[in-house]
Structure 1
Amino acid sequence: MGDSIATVLTDQAPAPAGHYVQATVCGGMVHVSGQLPVRPDGTHAPEVSFQDQARQALDNLLAVVRAAGSSPERLLKVTAYIVGVENWPQFNSVYADALGDIKPARAVVPVPELHYGYLVEIDAVAAVDSK
């Protein structure tokens, strides 16, 4: 009756704070929930710079991707929600530093605000590494 659905939970990213999981895996695909720049231990620092927030959110996203049996090279689609379109160039810079030559499909969506006063949230879809 179709593929089973597995959920992902790693302590290398913050635990879900609501009615969701870090990621689901089904049919060879990983769907990662939006990752805020919350530290893996669950502590918050919304006052840090946009660049630091973007790095933390990407670190969280990539930790979940790896825990799901995938890798940055297998990212298919990334969506970033950023507060303030003026932060777009900074996001591009942090994103390029984090992913290097890896260039999945991507959307950057300016939004008026995010939970806890953060400035960035990132979700993604990736393919599971073939073994």
Structure 2
Amino acid sequence: MSIEARLTELGIVLPEAAAPVASYVPVVVAGGFAHVSGQLPFVDGKLATGRLGEDVSLEEGMEAARACGLMILAQLKAALIPLDRVDRIVKLGAFVNSTPDFTDQPKVANGASDLMYDVFGEQGRHARAAVGVPCLPLGAAVEVDAIVALAGE
């Protein structure tokens, strides 16, 4: 089954790829890998902002991380990389805007990790970092970046 068919089966419609908010490119392909810049969470077209442990629930944080994962896929497509070329999701880096006493960053990051497994199956299993940070660009609740191995490179 193609990845596009899998997305349809899961009822997933990818968002429009967001434009960079500073001086960088969303995706760089080098040495058989696509390096996807950190993506912010757009839920229903609106940036999900706030801090976990303060004004964002664990469930909202997981939804925000999933939205970051969807944006990673959208950025790959926008870079003209067919999703069927994804050989493996190698690594995700999840940055969680959280209070000092919030310690469920790994659970928040599961929003993106579970999406990758749902879409790509075993090729979606990856290494990962989940880090709490005191703030993120534009007040985002979560930011996720990715390293993706490409077939045929």
* TM bracket, shorter-chain basis: 0.7 to 0.9
Q: Which residue of 1 is the match for residue 92 of structure 2?
A: 78
Q: What residue ranges of structure 1 are gaps of 5+ in the alignment?
A: 1-10
Aligned to 1:46, which of 40, 49, 54?
49
- Distance of 1:28 and 1:73 partners within structure 2: 10
User: How many residues matched?
Assistant: 119
Q: Which residue of 1 is the match for residue 10 of structure 2?
A: none
Q: Within 5 Å, give how 1:1-131 maps onto structure 2.
A: 12-38=16-42, 43-46=46-49, 49-68=60-79, 69=81, 71=83, 73-84=87-98, 85-92=103-110, 94-100=111-117, 101=122, 102-130=124-152
- Distance of 2:145 and 2:32 partners within structure 1: 17
Q: For residues 51 and 65 of structure 1, do their structure 2 counterparts lie closer, same or farther at Cα, with a shift above 3 Å needed?
A: same
Shift of 1:40: 9.6
TM-score (norm 1): 0.73
Q: Which has the higher helix share?
A: 2
Q: CA RMSD in A?
A: 2.6
TM-score (norm 2): 0.64
Q: SS at the partner of 1:46?
A: coil
Q: What residue ranges of structure 2 are gaps of 5+ in the alignment?
A: 1-14, 51-55
